[in-house]
Structure 1
Amino acid sequence: MFELPEFMTLARQMNDSFKAKTVQKGQLGNSPHKFVWYNRTHEEFDRLTKGKIVGKAYARGKWLFIPLEPDYVLLLGECGGKMLFHPSGAKVPKKYHLYITFDDDSFFTVTTQMWGGMELYEKGEERNSKYIRGMRTTPMEPEFTFGYFSALIDELIDGKKRSAKALLTQDQIIPGLGNAIAQDILFSAHLDPRHLIADFTVDQRQDLFHAITDTFVEVTEMGGRYDEYDLYNNPGGYIRKMDKNAVGHPCPECGATIEKFQYLGGACYVCPNCQK
């Protein structure tokens, strides 16, 4: 599944590849998928996108915003799979869930894995989407300061008990973060995923804050994770330290054997020595 660094990479590449191009034809999927969400019919999508000019794309959380000037915004997100730009004359994928052709016959396709949203809104209405409305500050925004992060933890402590992993992966408390990047963040902060946020010391709060921001910057600068693909079908350059490939191997910091266990609906990969 794409996380914020992958969406930021895709947005940057879209602005390099098809910003200011005119839409010749917009099509929804040719492969039915009950977990891909549209808010337009095939006919509406074709009619409303035709002749529109692509504006500057940007990412927030696990969502990609593509303005179709002058009146609409295409919202793509909460998905994995591939979003690809194809030059004129390229072969169209056999299956797709979105297909937009531009005036120079180049085109853009989206093929999802598992689930995803592909919705076209009148400009401004995208902010009222249930996925976007009320979204908290993301780690790539200037407002994501240590003061903001510490106040967020204080706010959450007054509610139900939450662990470090829950803080990073549940309810999009920190938008754009998922289980994959969370593993490396927790390792960098030397925190066990089950550690309760109510028990954090000031130093642990600071360590986790810096692990979040530093990891986001690193993953983004490297074009995303190695098992996700960019707009040109190239894998990202970030190799995760804590994933299935690390299990049974020495910790890169202390040499202890990396372990795996299930927690909060997903796998956790930890160093039993560094993340006590």
Structure 2
Amino acid sequence: MFFGETRILNMRKLILSSEENSRAKALATLKAIQKEDFKAIFNLVRDKPVTVRLLDPPLHEFLPHSVKEIEILATELNLSVTEIKQRIESLSEVNPMLGHRGCRLAVTFPEIYRLQAQAITESVIALKQEEGITANAEIMIPLVAEVAKLADVKKQVKAAIAEVITKSGNDWHCQIGTMIEIPRACVTADEIATEADFASFGTNDLTQMTYGFSRDDAAKFIGEYLDKKLLSYGPFQTLDVRGVGSCYPN
């Protein structure tokens, strides 16, 4: 939903531009694109439930890397290549999978979750008006570690939804839940449950954080673990019930 030539360019403008006008245009374009994306999804599944996880990948995945990509963005933003490189460097991370991603984006780039929540709401309303289809959509907030953070992001999402509802004169109640995928979230699941309408268990990230294995790098050594019988299965292929599984509340 954020990749593809037009999408990724506008995402980069949103992240790297310092001009409000440029950012506003990028936001409007992305919201219009995502609205159509969600309409297509909801139209396809009809009344079946659809859980939409808000943006989760590390921010660096959207940044330009090649010289050509950087030059194109510099031209679009009327900045020098050097300025673009400096802004990219300011967002670089040593460990992006534990860094600038998930609900943390609601702190640094709240407009991203706002545009997604509004695009979802607008698509639900439009589909009802145009096709008579009642979409069964719910929103999931990723990478939550504490209840206060969930409450804060949930408040932002509900405000974005309310803005669309007020303007349209329509009504829509949306369930807002979260991912339980961080060890602290497992330990404090009872607190998080007070703010979550539902929860989904994210075993990939929890396995990564519990084992201390980088999911992206583990393939380099997991094979030897298996060959030497240090592991009986790949932890990213089969759930470790005794270890990772025990983190989840009964």
TM-score range, shorter chain: under 0.3
Identify the structure with the greater helix proportion.
2
Alignment TM-score, normalising by the size of structure 2: 0.25
Identify the structure with the greater strand proportion.
1
